[in-house]
Amino acid sequence: MPSLNPTIIEDEHWRHGFAFVDDEKLVRIHYIDCPSSSSKEKGVILLIHGYPNTSYQWRHVITPFSKAGYRVIACDYRGAGDSSHPKGGYDKVTVADDLYKVVHDHLHITSSIHVVGQDIGGMVAHAYAASHSAHTRSVMFGECPLPGGDPYESFKNAPSMWHFVFQQQLDLPELLTQDREAIYIKHFYDRLCYNPTGITPRDVEHYAASFRQPGGMRAGFELYRAFAQDALDNVKMLKADGQLKMPAAALCGEMSLLLEVAEEQTRQFYEKVEEVIVEQSGHWTAEENPQDFVKKVVGFVEKYDS
């Protein structure tokens, strides 16, 4: 299969920064801020990466979104990449609140934004929309069974989701993956991809270097250990506020194992739902087929630009 990926990695318009998100200034979030290259900015897109990824997941799509007229913010959420690796706070409401503080409080973006997340980032995107609905113009998420949703309850103990159980154990996952970080995370990339050129050996090593940092693997596992709390939070917010009213898209790869449940679970939490499918892609949509990812995301969000 020919590569679907351009060679875009970074350009001079990307601005890297850090923002403290706690009063004690112990948790620092790294972000990339890329302005719209259009004379008139259409809106802001917040990209939320998954596991085992960092903001590097968006390397091929940040500049194309900018060229399409959008300001793009891509963060390493707590515990990932160049952000801090604190002991706690990995429930998705807290992770989403970190990103809100970066976008709203630090970057002073007060108008509502488009929130896009995949995998764990999809869980965070939903938490962002539910916790900060006034700041969310639209939300696109997928490639994750959302804790508290019916598909999650059906899938969480399935053999295909073995890592949910393994990574929630205390201490053992850290011990067994120490000095084997690249082997372990590459298994996820290989098992869930359709286009094997989407994540190259160079990309695997980039991710592995990030997860070799002190606390890197632990922080990733803590995201999974928080699933029980995430389920409680999602159900509680749904009962308290009802289905969310902002436009929502179930965003999945054409060949994804989760495609069959994506729209169903999104309709459980949102009133207005579309299914958006990235062609010739498995789980890692923005890396396997970045051109179609950009096309499909822009096609959805531009309908709701103010």
Per residue in 116-170, pLDDT (tens digit) is 999 999 999 999 999 999 999 999 999 999 999 999 998 888 888 999 999 999 9
Q: For the chain, list the domains and their CATH numbers.
A: 15-304 (3.40.50.1820)
What does the alpha-carbon distance between residue 291 and residue 278 come to, in Å, rounded to a whole number? 9
Amino acid at 217: M
- Indicate the burial class of 61 (C-beta count within 10 angstroms; 0-12, 13-18, 19 or more): buried
Strands in 43-48's sheet, in edge-to-edge order, are 15-20, 28-34, 70-75, 43-48, 113-118, 136-142, 248-253, 273-278
Q: What is the pTM of this model?
A: 0.96
Q: What angle do CA 4, 115, 48 make, to 5 degrees?
A: 60
Confidence of residue 4 (pLDDT cuts 50, 70, 90): very low
Mean pLDDT for the stretch of residues 171-177? 98
pLDDT in tens, 28-49: 999 999 999 988 899 999 999 9
